[in-house]
Chains A and B, each alone.
Chain A
Amino acid sequence: MSNSSALAEAASPEVRERPIVNDLTIQVATVNGSGSQSSNLVLLRSLFRMGIPVGGKNLFPSNIAGLPTWFTIRANRDGWVARRRRVDYLVALNPQTAARDVRGLEPGAVVVYQAGMRLERQRDDLVFYPAPLQDLAGEITREVRLRKLLANMVYVGVLGELLSIAPEAVDASIAAQFRGKKTAIALNHRAVRIGARYVRENLRKRDPHTVAPMDRNEGKILIDGNAAAALGAMFGGASVATWYPITPSSSLVEQLEKFLRRHRREEDGKSTFAVVQAEDELAAVGMALAAGWAGARAMTATSGPGISLMSEFVGLGYYAEIPAVIWNIQRVGPSTGLPTRTAQGDVLSTYALSHGDTRHVCLLPASTAECFEFGWRAFDYAERLQTPVFVLSDLDLGMNIWATDPFQYPDRPMDRGKVLTAEDLRRTGSFQRYADVDGDGIPWRTLPGTDHPAAAYFTRGSGHDESAEYTESEEAYVRVMERLARKFETARSILPEPVIHAADPPSEIGIIGFGTSDPAIEEARVTLREQAGIEVDYLRLRALPLSPRVLDFVAGRRTVVVMDQNRDAQLLQLLRAEFGDRLPAGVLKSLRHFNGLPLDARTVSDFIAAMDLGVGA
């Protein structure tokens, strides 16, 4: 295969006639607010229960009801769950988009649709399975709303029969979906059976796709990144969470509050937490910072527009050295942008948020497991470093559903950082809030309410010296700013190191990425290796400031691709700004993906295959 030709996505079918087992992308095209989400989740869980690696992505509009929505399920025996461009099974339920949806399919794809929509006239290279979903649901009820809902479950039955999804897996998934609601469970079971019966009696299987049980999900769970983040925060001891609703971050604090109510109420019914919905993001971050100042484990969650609003307060947090955790579930900007689409567009703005010289610690989770882990670790870093700590997730990670191994309980006690108590002060007699007594750039602090006359200090965003006194002295200003830079170097040394996958000997080609680029990059590496003989080493960043190991990774390579899910190659810009001349010339090559959809493997593999690598394939 030549380097310039497009590579197929991993494990794609070569021969259509042979059965294709456990390698399938299903797309359900519907209208938002139609109640199809439960059916899609049942479908996803059923495949999951069969032990097949699976992931679900919801492409939804910023709207309550009536606009097109696409839910995509990818089942893949090799474990690839990145978005895939090709759709094998389209469930076309939205008349508004059906024609376009069908037009976009590759030859051989399957269309399941409401009989009467006449989609079969559109193309002759697809497999069409019409089914009278509404009429079939009408066998159960004549009530219009309920019938519409159950029609969604009928297509689960249709797909289940066509693809050989284990009926017991479907039944169990329905039971899990409608937990405890006996009538709902019974009605949905019936809808599924009716769908399946219709296929048996009326349709002939004419496509090669099928699923079969595997054992890849032993012990695994299905969860969205925001739930994982919320759990991590709770096990990190989050005590104050203040927030303002914004897609795609709202579900983080909503789920956090749910978990806290269940697990952080004491025997007397009293809470060991406070969750406050603020009047805007300015108030949300102001409350979080002040709570951190007063000694709580405080956090907020938001997305791009909220980050912009938080800018001034975050600068105060940096300069006055106040711990707080801020989750940024990135969506597409600028401005309101595409509020329900995913991006990594806030790397630079978050890293250097606020006016003047500011730099912030950013954690970069790539999986739900890391959302959990960084969820609790972020508090340790914030309190250790006495600074706002950001966690840069995104809509794809936060709101979509991922299979993961169970989360690891925190392996260390909480790090509450350098806090002097009244007892400490009785020993030392005094303290200086912003003095670097340990040489790591991190000063000591006291909490309001500390019962010692020397405990108090005055926190301010204006110029201050080591004693926290107001000053406009140029020397004191420079001293404090230099110490803050030193503190940032300490941060660099304690944050999660990049994950590096390198061949032995190392390949001449590398790729650097972070966050949700990960599944697509991993899949592309295998495709490139198997189909083009190209080995690509991979460094996945897990935190900012950048680890010096990035320089080692780049050194000696011919080409290193820098993967950005934004237009302006923000990560590449950051590498250049931080490392400057220490980067070898001409090695870094930018790959950008910024259409709001999750990154797919082909974008990566096609780009690398098409590069002039000077190596044979």
Chain B
Amino acid sequence: MRKRTARVRRRPRANRLGLSARDYRGKPSTLCKGCGHDAISSQLIRAFFESDIRPHQVAKLSGIGCSSKTPAYFLGQSHGFNSVHGRMPSVATGAMLANRKLIAVGVSGDGDTASIGIGQFVHLVRRNVPLIYIVENNGVYGLTKGQFSATADENAKLRSGEVNRLPNIDLCGMAVELGATYVARSFAGDPKQLVALLRGALAHSGTAVLDILSPCVTFNNHPGSTKSYTWGKDNEEPIHLLDFVPEFEQIEVEYEEGQSRDVQLHDGSWIRLRKLDQDYDPTNRRAARELMLDAQENNRFLTGLLYVDPDKPTFLDTLEMTDTPLAHLEESRLRPPPEALDRIVASYQ
């Protein structure tokens, strides 16, 4: 059973930067009416607005597919890069190497990530590149008109009646296995949870993988589908209730002992996890793997923050680069002086 504390909150018109939500919008979406991806774009707009992110600091990266089109539909004042199929991770990595001050958000789909791009996904996660990696997961290839993807559940049915006989790839389970430092599963139909997870991802330093069930209203929203809105609503089992508490806000509301857990993220903000049926510790990697195995074996749609390790160094930390983004280095710091060339040449004599 889901229990939710109803909290009516007035949306501020301007954030602490003095920007309005309008400043975080993008072009009008060209996706199908009701597409889960558009719901996710809306929550991205809200999360960036509420977290007071300066749009120009953001780089939006994507691969190919319906999901990968969406960076055009949010944060219009941020640079975007719609690259090639399955290769968003390398593009995100390269951009962050050049400019470590960027805030990178990558949008991918289940085809883009779990099939053609699985190798790059694996290595991005392994490296812990600072990136919010969103998988808009609908179990089908939309742009090519509805073929199964590798995240489609076993025995799920296409509209045509075709049945998927292969097991699904669980991207969250895989991410934890690979050493991911922020792994969450969510649902486009659960905006409150989603925005908290997105804000948590923004406060996290390394790779944040968000696998979001995002129904395809055209090709995979029928009875028999395990990626439809109805299926999602009927089957979502949040493992906890989530609140994001920014670093500058005091945690005021007190909960009874044992009723909640607070996880402090890299930038000082908190994620407050309120206990539901069981007390789940998302910092316990072993427990996370067990939970996800259980979810996969029993076809449970568990959502929430599955795993978090706020302190692991990012890929950029391991490279020991100078604080100035490499892209901003002036010539005197990039080109060693003539004496250096003389010395090197002498060593070859």
Contact = CB atoms under 8 A, between A and B. Distances in A.
B90 A223 contact: no
Interface in B90-148: 90-95, 97-99, 101-102, 119-120, 122-123
A457 B79 contact: yes
Interface in B290-349: 319-323, 325-329, 331, 333-336, 338, 340-342, 344-345, 348-349
A257 to B, nearest CB: 11
Nearest to B338: A409
Contacts of B338: 409
A100 interface: no
Interface in A271-289: 271-274, 276, 278-280, 282-284, 286-289
A407 B80 contact: no
A150 B237 CA distance: 71
A295 B327 contact: yes
Interface string A222-246: 1100010001001111011010000
Q: Which of B94, B329, B344, B345 neighbours the largest number of chain A CB atoms within 10 Å of its CB? A: B94
B83 interface: yes
Contact of B99 (A235, A280, A449): A449
A607 interface: no
A293 B95 CA distance: 7
Nearest to B103: A449
A412 to B, nearest CB: 11
Query: At the interface, is chain B mostly helix, strand, loop or mixed?
Result: helix
Contacts of B99: 294-296, 447-449
Contacts of B57: 449
B95 A456 contact: no
B321 A313 contact: no
A1 B59 CA distance: 70
Interface in B32-69: 54-57, 59, 61
B89 interface: yes
A67 interface: no
A127 B94 CA distance: 60
Contact of A456 (B55, B61, B119, B328): B55
Interface stretch (B1-9, B70-78, B224-232, B278-286): B70-78
Contacts of B348: 221-223, 227
A179 to B, nearest CB: 9
Contacts of A313: 83-84, 87
A447 B327 contact: yes
Interface size band for B: 35 or more
Contact of A272 (B54, B87, B95, B333): B333
Interface string A262-273: 011010111111
A515 to B, nearest CB: 22
A470 B72 contact: yes
Interface stretch (A70-78, A108-116, A459-467, A568-576): A459-467
B81 interface: yes
B220 interface: no
Given A231-B344, A271-B319, A448 B79 contact: yes
Interface centre among A286, A295, A449 (most CB of B within 10 A): A449
A436 interface: no
B151 interface: no
Contact of B333 (A259, A266, A276): A266
B319 A312 contact: no
A308 to B, nearest CB: 15
A240 B102 contact: no
B88 to A, nearest CB: 9
A279 B119 contact: yes
A293 B319 CA distance: 20
B56 A290 contact: no
Contact of A293 (B81, B119, B333): B81
A253 B295 CA distance: 45
A356 interface: no
B82 interface: yes
Interface string A48-64: 00000000000000000
Nearest to B340: A263
A316 interface: yes
A294 B344 contact: no
A289 B94 CA distance: 7
Contacts of A455: 56, 77, 79
A271 B98 contact: no
Nearest to A453: B77
A377 interface: no
Interface in A437-469: 446-453, 455-462
B336 A449 contact: no
A264 B332 CA distance: 11
Contact of A239 (B71, B87, B329, B341): B329
Which among A220, A239, A450 has the greatest number of chain B C-beta atoms within 10 A? A239
A192 to B, nearest CB: 21
A295 B97 CA distance: 10
B272 to A, nearest CB: 32
A452 to B, nearest CB: 7
Given A287-B93, A294-B102, A312-B84, A237 B331 contact: yes
A446 B321 CA distance: 23
Contacts of A83: none
Given A295-B99, A297-B334, A407 B345 contact: yes
Contact of B327 (A222, A259, A294): A294
Interface in A196-236: 220-223, 227, 231, 234-236
Nearest to A459: B81
A413 interface: yes
B94 A290 contact: yes
B76 A295 contact: no
Contact of B344 (A259, A278, A293, A316): A259
A446 B102 CA distance: 14
Contacts of B93: 276, 283, 286-287, 290
A418 to B, nearest CB: 15
B331 A291 contact: no
B120 A283 contact: yes
Contacts of B89: 283
A599 B87 CA distance: 39
A294 B93 CA distance: 11
A286 B94 contact: yes
A548 interface: no
A347 interface: no
Given A292-B98, A295-B327, 9 more contacts: A272-B322, A272-B334, A276-B319, A283-B120, A286-B87, A290-B93, A295-B99, A296-B97, A406-B345
12 contacts: A274-B326, A282-B120, A287-B91, A290-B81, A291-B98, A292-B94, A293-B95, A406-B342, A452-B56, A457-B79, A458-B80, A458-B82
Interface of A: 220-223, 227, 231, 234-237, 239-240, 242, 259, 263-264, 266, 268-274, 276, 278-280, 282-284, 286-298, 312-313, 316, 406-407, 409-410, 413-414, 446-453, 455-462, 470
Q: What 5 pairs across the A-B complex have the smallest Cβ distances?
A: A290-B94, A295-B327, A286-B90, A237-B334, A287-B94
